Amino acid sequence: MERVAQQCKQCGREIYFDGICISCRTENERNRILALTQEEMDVSIQQICNEIEIKGKLDEERDLFQKLLNYRDIDTQKIAEVAFKNNLFYPCELYKDAPADVITEMIEMIMQDNLNSRLAGHLLLCLAVHGGETVFQSFLELEKHPRNWRKELYVSPSFYATYGGWSYDNSHRFIETNFKKCYPMVKGTLDEKNCSPVKIGVKTDEKCSKCGCRIVNLMEIDGRDPRLDFLEIDGVIKVKCCPNCFEYSDGDFCRYKIDGESELISGNDSFITEDYLKDKGIEELASNSYILGDIPVPPRYAADWEGGSSIGGFAFWIQDCDIKLCPDCGKPMKYLAQIQWDTVLDDMEGNAYIEICKSCQVIGVLHQQT
Ligand SMILES: [Zn+2]
Ligand SMILES: [Zn+2]
Ligand SMILES: [Zn+2]
């Protein structure tokens, strides 16, 4: 059957089915969750607990849980208790506010040698999302004295920790890999964009030496805006990259100067020589009118499909969470921002992720898609 183009009944965008587009549907659902009263939220939390109690898993209410968590940052204590009683360790965010006794028991489990490695992986993620000193110390213990199950896992506990927004360096010093605050990028006008402390896609005069595509500042961030105090960046930083090449690389880096131009760090491993974006793509990217939102949102607000672009908080990792090691100091970098490609470039899929090492003044960019 031939697919016929029609318009989204809400925003007018071209779609190939009857009704409203995915992005409008997500927005409507988000508005519905944002409007819930505390009582209504309590009822929803009870609904989630009931499903776990009855089915031993989170299935029909999975989506509701995710949205309450992302948009309202609900307290998950009660849900964690029910989940633990029912041996449910997925999704790991169930345990964000797990009570101390549950965490103690989970640590006892993970310290065993003869644990199914799959379960061990889930436990590590749940503990990581909860975080805290006791969890940190137990991760270090597991790092120093790996249990049997560790052989079956591809990565070390320090990698699992990043799902909770933290990790540690080689000398086992605690490192935060996420900012606690989060601001969304919202639609504005081009005039408003000129005054916005965060801009997406600003053209530079440089061309990529490999593919010839125009180099852009994927983001420009003015940390002096009071909203961005939490970044502790006293000036403008520019996230420079070749928007064509970096999609095919495992992560590109640039060196920034506060209030200066950034410099690409050579050695990106991309082998792409054709410019797929061309000037047309660059113009489209640069013409977006996204601006920094006025009010902060919960840290996981953008951590889902159609989560949009955002600064701080948690990313929506389409593949695995990927906190890069700083090419200078070798320590885990800190996740800074995400750009949802199709909001600024119609033909692009996936997300761009921006990470930073402030002590070395290095920025990393990476790309993920399905
Ligand atoms: Zn729409
Ligand atoms: Zn390039
Ligand atoms: Zn560094």
How far away, in angstroms, is 344 Cα from ligand 2 center?
19
CA of 242 to the centre of ligand 2 (A): 5
- Tens of pLDDT, residues 207-231: 998 899 999 999 999 999 999 999 9
Ligand nearest to the CA of 325: 3
Round to whole Å and give the CA distance between 339 and 321: 15
- Number of the ligand closest to the Cα of 27: 1
266: tokens are: 């050579």
Is 217 inside a domain boundary?
yes
Residues 82 and 192 in one domain: no
**222: its two tokens:** 């003015």
**Residue at which a domain ends, from 120, 152, 176:** 176
More reliable by pLDDT, 15 or 82: 82
Same domain, 171 and 186: no
Q: Which of 143, 176, 209 is the last residue of a domain?
A: 176
Looking at the CA of 206, which ligand is closest? 2
> How many angstroms separate the alpha carbon of residue 13 from the centre of ligand 1?
6
* Nearest Cα residue to 222 out of 198, 204, 246: 198
140 and 215, same domain (yes or no):
no
Q: Can you tell me whether residue 365 is helix, strand or coil? A: strand
Per the structure, the count of domains in the chain is 2
Same domain, 164 and 297: no
- Comparing C-alpha atoms, which of 110, 140, 147, 144 is closest to residue 127? 110
Ligand nearest to the CA of 209: 2
C-alpha of residue 26 to centroid of ligand 3, in Å: 37
- Give, rounded to a whole angstrom, the gap between the first and last alpha carbons of the chain: 26
* 282 and 357 part of one domain: yes
Find where tokens 């909001």 sit: 343
Any alpha helices (H) in 205-287, and if so which ranges?
278-286
Question: Which of 150, 176, 202 is a domain's end point?
Answer: 176
345 and 198, same domain (yes or no):
yes
Give the integer Cα–Cα distance in Å for 339 and 318.
Answer: 12
Same domain, 144 and 290: no
My answer on whether 306 and 285 are in the same domain is: yes
- pLDDT value at 27 more than 70: yes
Provide CB contacts within 8 A for 35, sequence distance 6+. Answer: none
Q: Degrees (nearest 5) of the Cα angle 186, 27, 16?
A: 110
Going from the Cα of 11 to the center of ligand 1, the distance in angstroms, rounded, reads 4
Type and span of the H or E element at 206: strand 198-207
Which pLDDT band, with edges at 50, 70 and 90, does 313 fall under? very high
Distance 353 CA to ligand 3 centre (A): 17
Q: Check whether residue 186 and residue 321 sit in a common domain.
A: yes
Average pLDDT over residues 78-87: 98
Q: What is the pLDDT of residue 359?
A: 97
pLDDT single digits (tens) 270-297 = 677 888 899 999 999 999 999 999 999 9
Q: Ligand nearest 268 Cα, by number?
A: 2
Is residue 92 one of the residues assigned to a domain? yes
121, 135: one domain: yes
* Predicted confidence (pLDDT) at residue 1 exceeds the cutoff of 60: no
Q: Counting ligands in written order, which one lies closest to the CA of residue 275?
A: 2
Question: Ligand 2 center to residue 281 CA distance, Å?
Answer: 13
Lowest mean per-residue pLDDT among 21-25, 73-77, 178-182, 292-296: 21-25
Residues 123/126/127/129 CA torsion (nearest 10 deg)? 160
Residue 269 confidence (pLDDT): 63
Q: Does residue 210 lie within any of the structural domains?
A: yes
What is the pLDDT, as a whole number, of residue 2?
A: 63
- Phi/psi at 227 (5° precision): -60, -30
Range of the domain at 152: 75-176
What pLDDT, in 10s, does the model give residues 156-205? 999 999 999 999 999 999 999 999 999 999 999 999 999 999 999 999 99
The pLDDT tens digits of the residues spanning 188-202 come to 999 999 999 999 999
Can you tell me the distance from the alpha carbon of 35 to that of 103, in angstroms, rounded to the nearest whole number? 32
How far apart are the CA of 31 and the centre of ligand 3, in A?
39
Q: Rounded to the nearest whole angstrom, what is the distance from the C-alpha of residue 326 to the centroid of ligand 3?
A: 5
Q: Separation of 209 CA from ligand 2 center, angstroms?
A: 7
Is the pLDDT confidence value at 110 over 60? yes
Q: Which two tokens stand for residue 233?
A: 């960046």
The reply to whether 43 falls in a domain is no
Same domain (yes/no): 110, 164: yes
187 and 116, same structural domain? no
